[in-house]
Chains A and B, each alone.
Chain A
Amino acid sequence: MEEKQKKERIGVYICHCGGNISDYVDVAQMRDIAKNEDGVVVSKNVMFACADSNQKEMIKDIQGQNLDAIVVASCSPKLHLHTFRNVASRAGINPYNYTQVNIREQCSWAHSDTPKEASVKAAGLIRAGIHKVAYSEALENIEVSSTRAAVVIGAGVSGMRAAIALAKMGNQVYLIEKEKTTGGHVANLGKLFVTEQSGKSIAGSLLEEIKKITSITLFTEASVEKVSGSLGNFKVDVKTGTETLHLAAGAILVATGFDPYQPKEGEFGYSQFPGVITLPEFRELIDNSGETLIYNNRKIKSIAYIYCVGMRQTKGENKYCSRVCCTTAIHSSLLVHEKFKNVTAYHLYRDIRTYGKQEVLYEQSSKNGDIYLKYEEKTPPVVSQEGNHLVIKIKDELTRRQEMELETDLVVLVTGMVPRSDHEAISGILKIPAGNDKFYNEIHPKLRPVETVINGVFIGGSCQGPKNISESVQSALSAAVKINALTKNPTINLEPIIARVNFEACTWCGKCAEVCEYDAIHQLEMYGKIVASVNEATCKGCGMCAPVCPADAIDIAQYSNAEIEGMIDGFAQKVEISEEAGAEAAGGEGGITMKDMPQVWRRIASSLETDPKTIPALAKELDLNPELITYNLMTMNKYSLVEAAGMDDSDEYYFYKLKNLKHVEN
């Protein structure tokens, strides 16, 4: 890479984190070490770098001392990277000329057992951060234009509900359905818990609504053939009959749903004995029966439900729990009792998971006199046929593993959800990853649950994993809102941390394009030769292309050779920590001063200085409401400024005392 202009006016801020760092790391020496590094003009210790007062001071320093880059050595970048990028922006420098150094999670806390060595390590980490920021480049967000349209793949309840939401928010929507009819599995369902509305009517009313909305175009018996382009400007080729349509969309929602688990031949007697059927088959039987429940010309007087069929297999393929099957089986049993008289029900289960509101169904089922028998995975029930009856042998865990024999007319295999058999077709076209369970994967199950690693491609409903109808619709609607947040603006901003090619060094061998999963690298003619060029909108910045380049002509912004090797140099430099320093570390510089802390903290601290107090006692003394005291005290506790010191006489309240605050300054 070409020689870069190094930053020459760097500001370094070393955080005490109210003792979380300064109890173990000698922050004063860190400040002095940083001050002596090349290019550093400001080096300070701060009680809480994230505190509003410090952010203001940083802005003052940046502007007043004309800083061109900043380093904050505090907690993990997962917590405050964006906080300080924003500080940089507000102060008028580029947010990418900022480096966060993690001296808490990866230093003071991890090495609280060896404080002196923690200081040595912190010095290395801080120097690495200074080197990295010295080579950092100012980066601008990448702007791409966006089409105010979305493609929704799959017209089950999730896809239909999301399509309506997207249309109502002002998007043109193309709803693509593989089958002849819409509504997916739900369209085949009868009465549902809680509303008693049938699946058929839910699916029907959604279709009616879609027909009324002109901005939704529904394609049935259609399939997605090819997808090109990227966030903001996808081109989706859809085949309907003999025709191929080219649709333009800003984003894509995948709501392709699931397949019901199909038991193997002979699994609990399935397709071996005529009276063994799956749960979906049984639901259909209930819905289509008149006043008596008849199967194979036999009146059904007893039913055995076997749970977890094909699911929760410790050694098998489907390790997960399918979430919905316990509830569906128990709900089915309730429907049977409601519709037909005198049917005995046996539930052969491993664990019952009627979570949330669905628990009332389980309770009702027990009240109805249903019999629950528990089996273990390693000793599953055995189904056989004797004459006209099905006979099940089970070792019941609830009665000390007693072996029992049940005679029943019907065995219902409580089957769950598996990924669609054609799931690879869509993931292949869209390049969205699937997990070990083969369901499509989100970026983060808790924090980014409907986004995929492909910008602009979202997942909703049960294509992501087993979900009931409400959960499916929730996730699809959340994806719809995320999509609208992208398409509502004519331009979209993307993070600029992507691959860049050094055109002078590149000789186009094609190796980078070969490893790129996102088809983001193409040939370009430049300087009279063919070179590699990166599509800014599709590049994910993973860096896979960088090590394979024989000419070392590719790097990722923020991860250039100069930055990474500079960090290594920073770690490698010799660190001298003076001996007496360790002892002083805990108190920082002459104890913790309180000037940056809220007034309430100061009052609490002053009060606790005389003797430990409980929350009600503090509230009374300071004449503040106990909630306010609790909130502030808990925050102080989090920052290790106070600690609990035993319970009061009534065993109701903790006493609190000061921890690290040695000299309270009022």
Chain B
Amino acid sequence: MEKKHSRPKILVFSTDKISDPGIDQAGLRKIHYSPAVYVISLPCSSGIKPRWILHAFKQGFDGVFIAADGHECSYSPRCPELTNRIIEESQVLMKENGISPKRIRMAAICSVCAEPFASHMNNFTKILAELEE
């Protein structure tokens, strides 16, 4: 094993219909990003429970990234608003547990957003690595 935290570990929540296919496409096109990125796909980003996010940090993840559908969400136009609320609640939980709120990020990832996803992962990896120091 490499030295601990040489690559910050990131948990991504994606969505079955939109952002997960976008992430798949990055692989399909061999667009590389950090291999310490792990993805859990859900029906919609507005269904993420803050307790899962806290659980990830407690289990040693360095960052959580929400690959949301944004305004493309087919379930509800309120999706961005509700997802934002989940992030805010999670940040409160994170602060209570001494975790920097900068360790959670969100961006809309579309079903063909292969490059944007990879570059979000690269940026977030860099930001988390700097936070570590």
Given contacts A106-B39, A517-B75, A543-B42, contact A113 B32 (CB under 8 A): yes
Q: Contact mask A521-560 → B, CB, 8 Å, 1/0?
A: 0000000000000000000111110111000100010010
Residues of B with C-beta under 8 A to A571 = 9, 11, 38, 59, 61
Given contacts A117-B36, A572-B59, A576-B1, contact A515 B78 (CB under 8 A): yes
Residues of A with C-beta under 8 A to B36 = 117, 121
Is there contact, CB below 8 Å, between B75 and A544? yes
Q: Which of B5-56 contact A (CB under 8 A)?
A: 7, 9, 11, 17, 20-21, 23-28, 30-33, 35-44, 46-52, 55-56
Partner of B49, one of A111, A124, A552: A552
A441 close to B (CB within 8 Å)? yes
The number of chain A residues with a CB under 8 A from chain B is 53
Residues of A with C-beta under 8 A to B39 = 102, 106
Given contacts A78-B21, A543-B43, A571-B38, contact A111 B74 (CB under 8 A): no
Is there contact, CB below 8 Å, between A541 and B43? yes
Is there contact, CB below 8 Å, between B43 and A561? no
B82 close to A (CB within 8 Å)? yes
Partner of A433, one of B24, B46, B52, B74: B74
Residues of B with C-beta under 8 A to A444 = 17
A597 close to B (CB within 8 Å)? no
Q: Contact mask A395-423 → B, CB, 8 Å, 1/0?
A: 00000000000000000000000000000
Partner of A109, one of B30, B42, B77: B30
Is there contact, CB below 8 Å, between A114 and B35? yes
A276 close to B (CB within 8 Å)? no
Q: Once bound together, how far apart are the Cα atoms of A117 and B38, in whole Å?
A: 12
Is there contact, CB below 8 Å, between A117 and B60? no
**Count class of interface residues, chain B:** 35 or more
Q: Once bound together, how far apart are the Cα atoms of A589 and B15, in whole Å?
A: 35
Q: Once bound together, how far apart are the Cα atoms of A556 and B15, in whole Å?
A: 14
Interchain nearest-CB distance for B125 vs A (Å): 13
Given contacts A112-B30, A547-B86, contact A542 B55 (CB under 8 A): no
Interchain nearest-CB distance for B75 vs A (Å): 4
A321 close to B (CB within 8 Å)? no
Q: Once bound together, how far apart are the Cα atoms of A113 and B35, in whole Å?
A: 10
Chain B residues engaging chain A, CB cutoff 8 angstroms: 1, 7, 9, 11, 17, 20-21, 23-28, 30-33, 35-44, 46-52, 55-56, 59-61, 71, 74-79, 82, 86, 89
Q: Once bound together, how far apart are the Cα atoms of A124 and B9, in whole Å?
A: 12
Q: Contact mask A104-118 → B, CB, 8 Å, 1/0?
A: 111111111110011
Residues of A with C-beta under 8 A to B1 = 120, 574-576
When C-beta atoms are compared, the residue in chain B nearest to A565 turns out to be B55
Is there contact, CB below 8 Å, between A110 and B47? no
Interchain nearest-CB distance for A557 vs B (Å): 11
Chain A residues engaging chain B, CB cutoff 8 angstroms: 76-78, 102, 104-114, 117-118, 120-121, 124-125, 128, 433, 436, 441, 443-444, 453, 497, 515, 517, 540-544, 546-548, 552, 556, 559, 561, 564-565, 567-569, 571-572, 574-576
Is there contact, CB below 8 Å, between B46 and A568? no
Is there contact, CB below 8 Å, between A102 and B47? no
When C-beta atoms are compared, the residue in chain A nearest to B46 turns out to be A544
Q: Once bound together, how far apart are the Cα atoms of A40 and B2, in whole Å?
A: 29
Q: Once bound together, how far apart are the Cα atoms of A111 and B37, in whole Å?
A: 10
Is there contact, CB below 8 Å, between A568 and B43? no
Is there contact, CB below 8 Å, between B27 and A559? no
Q: Once bound together, how far apart are the Cα atoms of A33 and B73, in whole Å?
A: 37
Residues of B with C-beta under 8 A to A128 = 38, 40
Partner of A540, one of B40, B71, B75: B75
Is there contact, CB below 8 Å, between A561 and B75? no
Residues of A with C-beta under 8 A to B56 = 568
Residues of A with C-beta under 8 A to B76 = 433, 517, 542, 544
Q: Once bound together, how far apart are the Cα atoms of A77 and B39, in whole Å?
A: 13
Residues of A with C-beta under 8 A to B7 = 117
Is there contact, CB below 8 Å, between A109 and B27? yes
Is there contact, CB below 8 Å, between A106 and B75? no
Interchain nearest-CB distance for A140 vs B (Å): 19
Given contacts A121-B38, A569-B59, contact A544 B27 (CB under 8 A): no
Q: Once bound together, how far apart are the Cα atoms of A556 and B40, in whole Å?
A: 14
Q: Which 8 A-B pairs have the closest CB atoms?
A: A543-B47, A105-B27, A572-B59, A117-B35, A110-B27, A109-B27, A105-B24, A542-B75
Name which of B11, B26, B36, B46 has the most chain A CB atoms within 10 A of its CB: B46
Is there contact, CB below 8 Å, between B35 and A111? yes
Q: Once bound together, how far apart are the Cα atoms of A280 and B49, in whole Å?
A: 53
Is there contact, CB below 8 Å, between A564 and B52? yes
Q: Once bound together, how far apart are the Cα atoms of A351 and B41, in whole Å?
A: 42
Residues of B with C-beta under 8 A to A111 = 32, 35
Interchain nearest-CB distance for B60 vs A (Å): 5
Further 10 A-B residue pairs, CB within 8 A, beyond A113-B32, A572-B60:
A76-B21, A76-B24, A121-B37, A453-B74, A497-B43, A540-B43, A547-B82, A547-B86, A561-B52, A568-B40
Q: Once bound together, how far apart are the Cα atoms of A548 and B82, in whole Å?
A: 9
Q: Once bound together, how far apart are the Cα atoms of A540 and B44, in whole Å?
A: 10
Interchain nearest-CB distance for A543 vs B (Å): 2
Interchain nearest-CB distance for B82 vs A (Å): 6
Residues of B with C-beta under 8 A to A552 = 49, 51
When C-beta atoms are compared, the residue in chain B nearest to A452 turns out to be B74
Interchain nearest-CB distance for A134 vs B (Å): 16
Interchain nearest-CB distance for A647 vs B (Å): 25
Is there contact, CB below 8 Å, between A124 and B55? no
Q: Once bound together, how far apart are the Cα atoms of A120 and B37, in whole Å?
A: 11
Partner of A568, one of B27, B42, B59, B86: B59
Residues of A with C-beta under 8 A to B35 = 107, 110-111, 114, 117-118, 120-121
Is there contact, CB below 8 Å, between B59 and A517? no
When C-beta atoms are compared, the residue in chain A nearest to B121 turns out to be A110
Given contacts A105-B24, A441-B74, A453-B74, contact A542 B38 (CB under 8 A): no
Residues of A with C-beta under 8 A to B17 = 443-444
Given contacts A110-B33, A121-B38, A556-B43, contact A433 B51 (CB under 8 A): no
Residues of B with C-beta under 8 A to A124 = 38
Residues of B with C-beta under 8 A to A108 = 27
Name which of A567, A568, A569 has the most chain B CB atoms within 10 A of its CB: A568
Q: Once bound together, how far apart are the Cα atoms of A310 and B15, in whole Å?
A: 35
Is there contact, CB below 8 Å, between A542 and B46? yes
